[in-house]
Amino acid sequence: MPFKLKLLALLTIFMPVKEASAQIAAFKDIRNYETYYAEARRNTENWLVIRRFEDSGKTWLLLAEPRTLVTKVAEANSYELKPTTLAAARQSFNNTAYTNALTAAEKQSATIQDAGIVQGMPKEAGISLTIDLCPSHKKLDRRIFNDVFQEFNKAEPHPPVAISVSGLWMKDHEADLNWLKQQELDGHIFITWINHTYNHRVDPKKPLKENFLLEPGTNINYEVLETEQAMLRNGMLPSVFFRFPGLVSDAKLLFEITGFGLIPIGSDAWLAKGQKALPGSIVLIHGNGNEPIGVNDFISLLKSEQKNVTQKQWLLYDLRESVDEEYNH
């Protein structure tokens, strides 16, 4: 099938509507949350379980579909489970978008900054937009979302955005978080939630090799799993993606993250640093109020592509589909 037709088919299948949003019922009594791998089968379905937890007397699973990178939460008793290891699961689901993306990210592990997947569909006119919400005392910069609504309203209903959210941002910005979730429920956007750690510590005086998650004493288990639990408590569906704070990592840390079954997502177009968005770029801007330059650059980019947007020649791509198309062979 020609790529354009395939893309239209994907957009039809995953067209964001209220029933297919990244919002789920909130889990308020999560216990025994853990990394857990199993193949989950039901009829013709075959999912990979990456987490298990208890809530309200039931056992729940966070599952990923390795071919489409879609995730969902379901009761454990809804599936026939075959416990496994991540290594064995990567063999079972070999050559899917999920396993290929994990492998590609690991090949970039030696890079201290911007390791992981940095580009999706390189030949297509458009970008995957990622918005980071690091801890901040400032309010959400809603200009990003309002401009996306305005520019894509007619050409691309429910434009997809990926939001890298930290636990402390969720904790300190309840009103802004509820506003974002309402925009999705109202059909304005479709959100893919990316794990951006819980604390997102940073010390401007320290070198990169001792900063962010590389700070001595960092509890990576807490940073990853506590953020996912915060998402679930807020009725948000965790994705299979992870973004390093500051885009900073080393080989050991990157393999720790892929060991959680998560795909590190970098960026080849951090706008505030002067990097230009190219076809297929994974664009990075900060929506936490701390990076107005990047937001202004993105708004300028949108306006410069206004005609192409109207003619559906320049689109926002769902990060899952973008990675899927690049790595699903």
Question: Which pair of structure tokens corresponds to residue 3?
Answer: 């790529």
| Spacing of C-alpha 28 from chain mean position | 23
Degrees to nearest 5, angle at CA 260 with 258 and 265: 45
| Residue 141 to residues 144, 147, 282, 294, Cα–Cα distance (Å) | 7, 11, 20, 11
**For residue 234, what are the β-bridge partners?**
none
| Coil, helix or strand at residue 304 | helix
pLDDT, mean of each 10-residue run, the chain (329 residues):
33 34 92 98 96 98 97 98 98 97 95 89 80 97 90 82 97 98 92 98 95 97 98 98 97 98 96 91 95 93 89 88 85
pTM (2 d.p.): 0.92
Tell me, what's the pLDDT at 122?
61
Which of 314, 287, 303, 293 has the alpha carbon at shortest distance from 128?
A: 314
Tell me if 105 sits within 8 A of 115, measured CB to CB.
Answer: yes
Q: How far, in Å, CA of 75 to CA of 63, rounded?
A: 10
Give the residue carrying structure tokens 């893309």.
7
Cβ 129 vs Cβ 287: under 8 Å: no
